[in-house]
């Protein structure tokens, strides 16, 4: 028995509890005199009523020598003079294999109020991204089970992709398809800032029983405080990292990064940051790379990440969309016009790109994909002429060919919600399409 290790722990342990007291509450912010604490540390605020549970909060800033806290829950029971107790630790959650199949909140507690499974480990939610020199290159494709993605926008194992779309274009449905059809070992799904009604709908309809069996869902609804919504993103990423370090191939799906940015903006404005680009504070643009760079490959396993980005008025160049697109390894643009034509999933292949596709696909696959993209591009460039009947057949051989292949390509791109195709089947369908096999 290693007694010295125990003696060392006893020597380092602090037997004192540090307390401060609440001075004022302004909006989201609680100002406290003491205790001694660091940024990111969790504190308990003890309500004045004795029968009430302590409220979890986090240190988010300082004002002169006073501490600025933000609570993880609504603050109805906090008054001037309430005791603030420092824990000396950052937020940790319980995580392990027995958590698979559960729906949890940002603090890692089951949403259906059942007790946590046994055999879980403590894991800190805020981790540093892997060292770039220790990240293995992305070398193999991951099967997503969606023909348009597997065939024309092939995703690599450990790639990070943004899904850019306005509201109601089918992001959640596409995430559900990927969760059910992908050949990853585990899905970690973060629903950040969702309407309460949509959470159960997504779990029961889009994800389904088969999808939930190999998924962990982290939920922070829109009515929860801003800090809880941010912690939902951090907790989901930490859970994915835990399984990656065990050697698993993990899918992380976050819906949506935009709402994480909005929550950080709320916190930044509350603690006195100046609003800069379209009202977003500087801290928003500093936390995005820290959060998104945590996923990807490491020397144990991989996290393939899909982040949805809500674009206001379908403007793909708004600040958050622009920042996220610069950080990630590819982007899928979901187009409202395509959805209005009844083509689902409504991915605009010509505006989308997978930055690692050329490294992970064979020459034959790339040639077929490039030829189909070329046919789509020629048709789109001449769509108006074709639709109004201004183009006469036989004028241009390439346009004639694009017109002939257009119905076949549209048929290939369409996919029913519960239709499943492997990566090989998608590539074979593309080959058959160009050889005249799909009608």
Cα–Cα distances in angstroms (integers) from residue 81 to residues 34, 60, 86, in the given order: 12, 20, 15
CB 39 within 8 A of CB 194: no
Residue 387: predicted pLDDT: 86
Residue 313: predicted pLDDT: 65
Integer Cα distance of 35 and 66 in angstroms: 9
Residue 257: predicted pLDDT: 95
Residue 380: predicted pLDDT: 93
| Of the residues 90, 120, 149, the one at which a domain ends | 90
Residue 194: predicted pLDDT: 85
Q: Half-sphere exposure of residue 79, counting CA atoms within 13 Å on the CB side? A: 5
Residue 48: predicted pLDDT: 81
Residue 437: predicted pLDDT: 55
102-126 tens-digit pLDDT: 999 999 999 988 898 888 999 999 9
Tell me the residue range of the domain where 292 lies.
93-361
- State whether 281 and 265 are in the same domain: yes
Residue 63: predicted pLDDT: 84
Residue 328: predicted pLDDT: 95
CB 55 within 8 A of CB 44: yes
Residue 314: predicted pLDDT: 64
CB 215 within 8 A of CB 189: yes
- Is pTM, for the whole model, over 0.85? yes
Please indicate, yes or no, if residue 187 is contained in any of the structural domains: yes
Domain containing 375 — which CATH number?
Answer: 1.20.1270.330
Please indicate, yes or no, if residue 2 is contained in any of the structural domains: no
- State whether 332 and 384 are in the same domain: no
Q: How many domains does the chain have?
A: 3
> Tokens representing 54?
């302590």
- State whether 368 and 357 are in the same domain: no
**68: β partners:** 31, 61
Residue 36: predicted pLDDT: 87
Please indicate, yes or no, if residue 51 is contained in any of the structural domains: yes
Please list, in sequence order, all residues whose beta carbon lies within 8 angstroms of the beta carbon of residue 108, skipping any fewer than 6 positions away. Answer: 93, 94, 95, 116, 235
Residues in the chain predicted with pLDDT less than 50, given as ranges, are 439
- State whether 157 and 103 are in the same domain: yes
CB 314 within 8 A of CB 336: yes
Residue 439: predicted pLDDT: 46
């Amino acid at each position: 028995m290693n007694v010295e290790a125990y003696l060392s722990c006893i020597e380092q342990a602090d037997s004192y509890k540090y307390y401060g007291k609440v001075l004022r509450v302004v909006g989201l912010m609680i100002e406290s005199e003491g205790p001694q604490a660091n940024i990111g540390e969790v504190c308990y605020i003890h309500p004045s009523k004795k029968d009430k549970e302590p409220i979890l909060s986090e240190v988010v800033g300082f004002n002169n020598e006073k501490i600025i806290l933000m609570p993880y829950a609504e603050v109805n029971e906090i008054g001037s003079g309430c005791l603030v107790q420092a824990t000396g630790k950052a937020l940790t959650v319980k995580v392990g294999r027995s958590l698979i199949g559960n729906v949890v909140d940002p603090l890692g507690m089951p949403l259906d109020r059942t007790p946590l499974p046994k055999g879980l480990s403590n894991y800190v939610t805020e981790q540093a991204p892997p060292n770039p020199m220790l990240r293995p290159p992305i070398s193999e494709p991951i099967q997503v089970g969606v023909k348009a993605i597997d065939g024309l926008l092939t995703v690599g194992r450990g790639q990070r992709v943004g899904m850019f779309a306005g509201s109601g274009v089918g992001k959640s449905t596409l995430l559900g398809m990927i969760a059910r059809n992908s050949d990853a070992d585990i899905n970690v799904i973060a629903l950040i800032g969702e309407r309460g009604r949509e959470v159960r709908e997504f779990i029961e309809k889009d994800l389904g029983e088969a999808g939930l069996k190999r998924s962990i869902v982290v939920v922070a609804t829109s009515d929860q405080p801003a800090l809880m919504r941010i912690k939902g993103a951090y907790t989901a990423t930490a859970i994915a990292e835990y399984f990656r370090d065990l050697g698993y191939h993990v899918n992380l799906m976050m819906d949506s990064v935009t709402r994480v940015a909005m929550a950080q903006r709320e916190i930044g404005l509350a603690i006195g940051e100046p609003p800069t680009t379209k009202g977003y504070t500087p801290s928003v643009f500093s936390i995005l790379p820290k959060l998104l760079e945590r996923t990807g490959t490491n020397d144990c396993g991989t996290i393939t990440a899909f982040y949805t980005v809500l674009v206001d008025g379908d403007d793909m160049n708004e600040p958050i969309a622009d920042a996220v697109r610069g950080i990630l390894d590819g982007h899928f643009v979901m187009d409202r016009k395509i959805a209005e034509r009844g083509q689902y999933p409504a991915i605009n292949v010509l505006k989308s790109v997978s930055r690692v596709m050329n490294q992970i696909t064979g020459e034959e696959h790339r040639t077929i994909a490039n030829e189909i993209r070329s046919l789509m591009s020629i048709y789109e460039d001449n769509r108006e002429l074709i639709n109004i009947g201004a183009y006469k057949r036989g004028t241009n051989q390439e346009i004639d060919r694009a017109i002939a292949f257009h119905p076949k390509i549209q048929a290939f791109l369409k996919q029913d919600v519960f239709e499943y195709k492997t990566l090989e089947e998608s590539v074979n369908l593309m080959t058959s399409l160009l050889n005249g096999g799909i009608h």
